[in-house]
């Protein structure tokens, strides 16, 4: 089971975006579409309908929601897509083909070309605002997954990427730190010793992080959050330790001390919302709208109507 699932927030385009991504990535499919009625809270601009979409891109799970124009996706969280010539004889050609598809209606943030860290790399923002870092990887390096979420620490967080990696790996079991590459002197405005690139594993899943002192016009928002699947209330309570902004706690959502949004969600709730009658789904929805941290027992009672 994929423990941490990237969750994308859209106004109305979640299903359209998912359909686009499964057309771009090989071996991909939409796995569920779940409409929820009267599922927005007053804090989200008033009661309204939402739609959840689960989709799988070449074995990597994503979730998306259409829930109103409250958050806009930006490059603070992007996704590395690793093309490994040691595993794919047509890695460069496949990278180029994916770049062409993602470029339709999109914008290149870093042009596709050779860089010191990769013979073939580009950073593209697609037509829905999601950004992808397509990279021809070094076949001599340690194998990494095809897709890896990447966090960019900027503004008041710049210089904290390595600290964040240490914090996250202290919270999640089965964790380790991978590569840590620091900025050398002379790369102003980035300070020597801050993190140029690092990756780390949380409960068996790879993520990446970097510092950037450039003058970026964005920051972490709820538009891309990281959903943690929990097996029981004990896990929900444990991962709630990530929370550092009490006023952001709502419906299983929290913000950590760096501003990254997480969703701490019981795996059973997915079943409650997908394998249910309309009445059960409505009861569960109304129950979780009243919660900050999820109470799994209360959700079960709502599902059962008891």
DSSP state letters, 116-182: TTEEEEEEEE-TTS-EEEEEE--TTSPP--SEEEEEEE-GGGTT-HHHHHHHHHHHSSS-EEEEEEE
User: How do residues 139-190 score in pLDDT, each as one tens digit?
Assistant: 777 789 999 999 999 999 999 999 999 999 999 999 999 999 999 999 999 9
10 assigned to some structural domain: yes
- What average pLDDT does the structure give for the chain? 93
Q: Please report whether residue 216 resides in a domain.
A: no
Please check whether residues 242 and 263 belong to one and the same domain: yes
* 8 Å CB contact between 273 and 164: no
Task: State the residue for tokens 């949380």.
Answer: 202
pTM over the 0.95 mark: no
- The answer on 103 and 42 residing in a single domain is no
pLDDT band at 48 (very low <50, low <70, confident <90, very high): low
Residue 213 — pLDDT band, cuts 50, 70, 90? very high
Q: Which helix (H) or strand (E) holds 242?
A: none
Residues 54 and 89 in one domain: no
Select from 211, 231, 249 the last residue of a domain.
211
Q: 270 is in which domain, residue-wise?
A: 4-69+221-304
d(CA 276, CA 279): 8
Per the CB < 8 A criterion, the answer to whether 190 and 213 are in contact is yes
* Tokens 């590459």 found at: 181
So what's the pLDDT on residue 274? 80
What residue has token string 């990530």? 242
37 pLDDT above the threshold of 80: no
Question: Which residue among 211, 235, 254 closes a domain?
Answer: 211
Catalogue the E-assigned strands of 37-140: 50-57, 60-66, 77-83, 107-115, 118-125, 131-136
Calculated CA dihedral for residues 108, 11, 17, 219, nearest 10 degrees:
40
Q: What is the CATH number of the domain that holds 178?
A: 3.30.720.110
Tell me: the pLDDT tens digits for 93-146?
A: 999 999 999 999 999 999 999 999 899 999 999 999 999 999 999 877 778 999
- Considering its fold, how many domains does the chain have in total? 2
The single residue listed with the structure tokens 């709730």 is 269
The CATH number covering residue 291 comes to: 3.10.180.10
Question: Is 115 part of any domain?
Answer: yes
Is 37 or 263 the better-scoring residue by pLDDT? Answer: 263
For residue 40 the two structure tokens come to 């927005």
């Amino acid at each position: 089971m994929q423990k941490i699932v990237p969750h994308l927030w859209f106004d109305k385009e979640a299903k359209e975006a998912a359909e686009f991504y499964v057309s771009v990535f090989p071996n991909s499919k939409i796995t569920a579409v779940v409409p929820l009625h009267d599922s927005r809270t007053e804090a989200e601009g008033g009661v309204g309908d939402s739609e959840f979409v689960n989709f799988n891109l070449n074995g990597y799970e994503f979730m998306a929601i259409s829930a109103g124009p409250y958050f806009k996706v930006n490059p603070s969280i992007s996704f590395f897509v690793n093309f490994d010539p040691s595993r794919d004889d047509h890695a460069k050609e496949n990278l180029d083909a994916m770049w062409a598809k993602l470029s339709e209606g999109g914008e290149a943030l870093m042009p596709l070309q050779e860089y010191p860290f990769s013979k073939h790399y580009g950073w593209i923002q697609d037509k829905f605002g999601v950004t992808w870092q397509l990279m021809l990887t070094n076949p001599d390096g340690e194998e990494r997954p095809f897709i890896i979420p990447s966090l960019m620490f900027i503004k008041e967080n710049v210089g904290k990427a390595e600290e964040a990696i240490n914090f996250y790996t202290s919270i999640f079991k089965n964790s380790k730190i991978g590569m840590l590459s620091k900025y050398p002197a002379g790369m102003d405005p980035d300070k020597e010793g801050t993190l140029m690139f690092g990756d780390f594993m949380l409960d068996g899943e790879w993520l990446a992080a970097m510092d950037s002192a450039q003058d970026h016009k964005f920051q972490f928002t709820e538009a891309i959050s990281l959903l943690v699947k929990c097996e029981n209330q004990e896990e929900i309570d444990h991962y709630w330790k990530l929370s550092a902004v009490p006023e952001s706690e709502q419906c299983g959502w929290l913000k950590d001390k760096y501003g990254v949004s997480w969703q701490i969600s019981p795996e059973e709730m997915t079943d409650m919302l997908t394998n249910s009658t309309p009445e059960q789904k409505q009861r569960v929805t109304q129950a979780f709208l009243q919660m900050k941290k999820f109470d799994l027992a209360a959700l079960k009672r709502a599902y059962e109507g008891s």
